[in-house]
Amino acid sequence: MTLPERQTSLLEVRLGKPAHGGYCVARHDGRVVFVRGGLPGELVQVRITEDRGRFCRAEVVDVAEPSPHRVPAVCPAAAAGAGCCDLAHATVAAQREFKASVLVEQLQRLAGLDMPVELRALPGSADGTRWRTRVRLAVDADGRAGVHRYRSEEILGELSCPQPVPGTVDGIAGRRWRPGSQLQLAVDATGERQIVELSATRRHGGRGRGDVRRQRLLDGADRAREHVRDRVFEISAGGFWQAHRGAAQAYAEVVADWAALRTGEHAWDLYSGVGVFAAQLADQVGESGAVVAVESVAAAVHDGQRALADLPQVKFRSGRVERVLAELRHAPRVVVLDPPRAGAGRAVVEAITAREPARIIHIGCDPASFARDVGLYRAAGYRLESVTAFDAFPLTHHMEAIGLLVR
């Protein structure tokens, strides 16, 4: 059957276990079908959206036998076809169970581990709404801001999504913006909103995050103020910060607990951003110790140096992690790293493990990349002693995992 024919026909399938990416696995005529918009156990009618030969992707168009965990979807943008709230049709508890099972499966498949995982809630999002402090919008040819249709370049004008904190998108729909640009909206800890325009022209960026766009501050202060464990961080307009308002604090507490450094020891904070984790390590090693923070984005290095100016034991190194690691002389007792979505990869993992740190604290926002990196650590003689996962992106299939690896 050709793809156009499949797209106009409906199939009835019984949904099985969750799969990476927010899908449930089903089978039809001997082929695997990855279904979006369903829950395990449901009998649904689906429309094929992509035929890859050995498998298909599909979306639910009708639910014949709903799961007891299904609830009315709460996101108008997702209902219009946006890719934002792809688990909004499930209870919060079911969302967390869905995501935890995906992480468990990825650890089994890619790292050879069988470990139970429980997704922990972050403060301030009991119902899964109003947690997001950073939003990126696209601007269409007519200057209207919107969000992309799922797996498409089409821009939808519907901005009603329950994720952003109040005030994030106020007034955006009524204005006209530069066609082809993007808007980055941020609401900081003080409630101040920034609007940053990202140009249509892209250039290669740092931190392994692909292309970046030229930035122009349109509204708000030139620095966002954030707080973690009584320390103030001022982030340059358009700079990176965790999307969930409770994430940075929660991750910092885990890092501080697991690092267990002693006075005078050495540590690394890789992909450090402005040095949130470096600050936790510095408090433990004291002025007789040393913390090296490695970050490729120059603005983040500058912001971090300002925020941690009272910690002489912290030294920032600007550059790609792969290059800087080869230049570092002192072997660390603890390494903390928070790589981009694609993960650290073989070269970085091998460079870290060659220094034989006693503890590695690895943070990942993609379960497959996280599990793949864990497998590389295991091959180098480390074991995953503990894993903590956070529901850092409620209403979506995304999560954050933190692993403690020891020799």
Q: Which residues are catalytic?
A: 365
- 3 state DSSP class of 270: strand
Listed residue (247, 343, 241, 252) closest to 299, CA to CA = 241
User: Which one-letter amino acid corresponds to residue 113?
Assistant: L
Listed residue (70, 87, 115) closest to 18, CA to CA = 87
> Which two structure tokens, joined as six digits, stand for 291?
């913390």
- The H or E element spanning position 260 is none
> Going by C-beta distance under 8 Å and a sequence separation of 6 or more, which residues neighbour residue 134?
184, 185, 186, 241, 243
> Which two structure tokens, joined as six digits, stand for 259?
């690092």
* CA–CA distance, 36 with 34 (Å, rounded to integer): 7
CB atoms within 10 A of CB 157: 13
* CA–CA distance, 336 with 407 (Å, rounded to integer): 15
> Which two structure tokens, joined as six digits, stand for 361?
């604290």
